[in-house]
Structure 1
């Protein structure tokens, strides 16, 4: 912080006042002390303070200060040709903006804002891409996810004003990594739902209506406890969920009745269970106990647990709606 200072010697307070009078209305206050004359400019939001040497008012004025020099520009040939044998010119600049002067009256930045120097006028080298990296692993242990790859503009990298590489340096694509999917009581459908990556199912509930299962909900162990429901026909009337299986389920089975579906070769599910290895028990929610039927059982692979669900339902001629199959997918455990 400095003040606008009269550069020549000032012999009296009266003479200092005359300088302020000449510069009105910009100068509205002044201070004189031992041949030094300071003029106060109130433009902007300057702070007026009292001089410790006298009762006169001073005005704080913020002068300008230089920013850092910019990078040197590309060397431009002084005449047509370029190459290591030809001379050119380059420059760099700086701005009076660190800070910017608060008005035109305070002292501005001293010195020059641009420097120019000679240089070797090399010809521009345009950038070219390196080869793409290999595609990354699928973002999911199982199910649909994403893969990506990248490349760098260093074969060669642009120099001496050469053009940068065109097009993107990063690409994404989809992936669908099936670990071990199997159906219980039927097949078909594409409405898979999965726990978030690296999480798995820890409990589930079923909905029984009209002598069969109308819906399933599998709950994951991610922080939000995502629920897998696939093609859920109804959302009301679910039975109490099973107890929790923290380490995940390793088997699934369903009890199905042939010809219960809309077509003669369909199966209608009347019960579904998942196997919790850590307690060595089959867990179930609601089931239809009086319909009979045949159990269909499947197991996950080694070090895999259930993490995905797919269901499909039928509509019977009598408007009865129920599941005619459910499929689960087994995902590799994260630390395997």
Structure 2
């Protein structure tokens, strides 16, 4: 083959236009070990273009045993590399279809492929937001408290996530301007402690902000004042006569001569103390003889308890009447009751002025 023919062959060879077929009357089959001589020895094709040499000059370039590698099909995808959320999975292929041999080229391209994968969403644990600004002080002066808050929404926890741990509220002591300390105005005087005689009245005042200052002392002076008060003069006295039975063994005196202060009740025969103090009490019953009865006895009672006995025994059978009486001094408190009771043979008591009951306040108690 002439030089021109060889040049044409090499140009076609390096341009990639020659694969197999007939070149200048030489029949060469691609991949076979039948070389298109003498063109294979031109321009050192075994070194200059190995890939073309494998196709056209295998025998000449001693490449008949050379096998380039080729990929097998891709394997199955592997598991996702996470248990929740977004992850990655991969698959591989092998350079064994066929494997490279006798200096053949390895497979071209990636041995491994990756792809994203999604598993069930991951649990979301709650997170605190930042603290809010401190609120206003609870006291306009002196010592108070301030508060700030935070919320568990950064992020919000999912139903299977953990909540936030810790406090959502924070408090601290705050000190504003110093509070003024001093007495408030006096209240009005209370009513008199007694309805008659001499008693007491009271008025009071409160200390303004006594505990809000750590420096100032509390108010000096008394929070309460007292003064005496005089109402109308105290008086209590009564005199009642006559006889009428009352209850099981008591008597009453229905005819009222004097009832100063209305403390005696003629319907029950009971004197109820309104003004505490010292009293003189006198009771007299007029009696007459009856068959086999020569005396009638009663008691002056204090709150239902026998205190002084009215008793007289004339020791005779005279049908004329006689009297029994008793007088005592009692110190009575408000609502104490004086009456006449525990009488025997009440049916033999005269219903006349011979039968009487009286009491008089001789000295009221001073409060």
Larger RCO of the pair (alpha carbons < 8 Å, separation 6+): 1
Same fold (TM over 0.5): no
Using structure 1 for the length normalisation, give the TM-score. 0.28
Using structure 2 for the length normalisation, give the TM-score. 0.27
